[in-house]
Amino acid sequence: GPGRGFLTAFLAERAGLIHAVELDPDVLPSLRAAVGDRDNVRIHEGDALRFDYSGLDPAPNRLAANLPYNIASPLVLRLLEEVETLRTLRFMVQLEVARRMAAERGSKDYAAYAVLAQLLARVRILHKVPPTVFDPPPRVHSAVVEMVRSEPPDDYRGIKRLVLGAFRSRRKRLINNLPEPARVGAPRVLESLGYGPNARAEELAPEDFTALYVALSWAL
C-alpha cells in the first residue's frame, strides 16, 4: 500500500529497487507523479493479498510499509509463508494487531496467529506511534513491528493445522482439541515438555507445538 508515495519516495533514495503494490486507482496518479520517473521503483497495480509475488524480478528481500490495517494480519502471514526471499519485514500496523503478532505465551493476546508468526520469524515491537503524529489523527494507536525470518520448521503446514485446531476452543484442554487418535499419546508428550494433561494451548511456546507435532504426527 504505497498510497501517494511519501514513504516510497523516501525509500527510493536508499534502496536498490522497490516493488510497490497499490490497489486504489484514486491514488495511483499521485503515486506515479511522486516516484514514477525513478528507475528503481516498479509500480504494480493489484491487491496485495492476492498478488503473485513469485513473479517479481528481482525477488524482494525486505518489506518496509505502512500496511492497510484491515489486511495487515493475513498479508504478513502470507508473506512469511510464501515469499521466502523476504528476510526482514518492518511495518506499521494498529497497536492491537502488533500485540497479537508479538504476544508471549500465557498472555491474553497469545493465540494461533502469534504462534505461526513466531515459528517463521523473530517478532518484536520496535516502538509505539501515537495518533497525534497523523493528520487527521486516527482513533487507534499504532506500532512499528520488526520480523526477522528464521528457519521454518519441517512440515510447517502440518504444524499449522495442529496450531489452528489447538486454539479452536481456548477454554478446552489442549488434548480435547486434538483429533481422537492423538489424544491417547498426548499426555505423555505434554509431560515430556513440562506440561500437565490439563494444559491449554495458550500455555505452550511456539517451539512446543513443533515438538508436539513431531511426536504425534502419525495421529494428526
pLDDT at 134: 87
Which residues, including other chains, have CB under 8 Å from residue 209's CB and lie 6 or more apart?
115, 119, 159, 162, 163, 166
- Which residues of the chain are modeled with pLDDT < 50? none
Whether residues 29 and 65 share a domain: the answer is no
Nine cell digits for residue 24: 486504489
User: Considering the domain boundaries, does residue 52 fall inside one?
Assistant: no
User: Considering the domain boundaries, does residue 54 fall inside one?
Assistant: no
What range defines the domain where residue 192 resides? 156-219
DSSP letter assigned to residue 151 = P
pLDDT in tens, 159-172: 999 999 999 998 89
Whether residues 79 and 5 share a domain: the answer is no
Whether residues 145 and 68 share a domain: the answer is yes
Q: Would you call the peptide bond into 179 cis, given omega within 30 degrees of 0 as the criterion?
A: no
pLDDT at 220: 86
Count: domains in the chain: 3
Whether residues 183 and 141 share a domain: the answer is no
User: Considering the domain boundaries, does residue 51 fall inside one?
Assistant: no
pLDDT in tens, 100-142: 999 999 999 999 999 999 999 999 999 999 999 988 898 999 9
Whether residues 105 and 25 share a domain: the answer is no
C-alpha span between 93 and 72 (Å, rounded): 7
This prediction has a pTM of 0.93
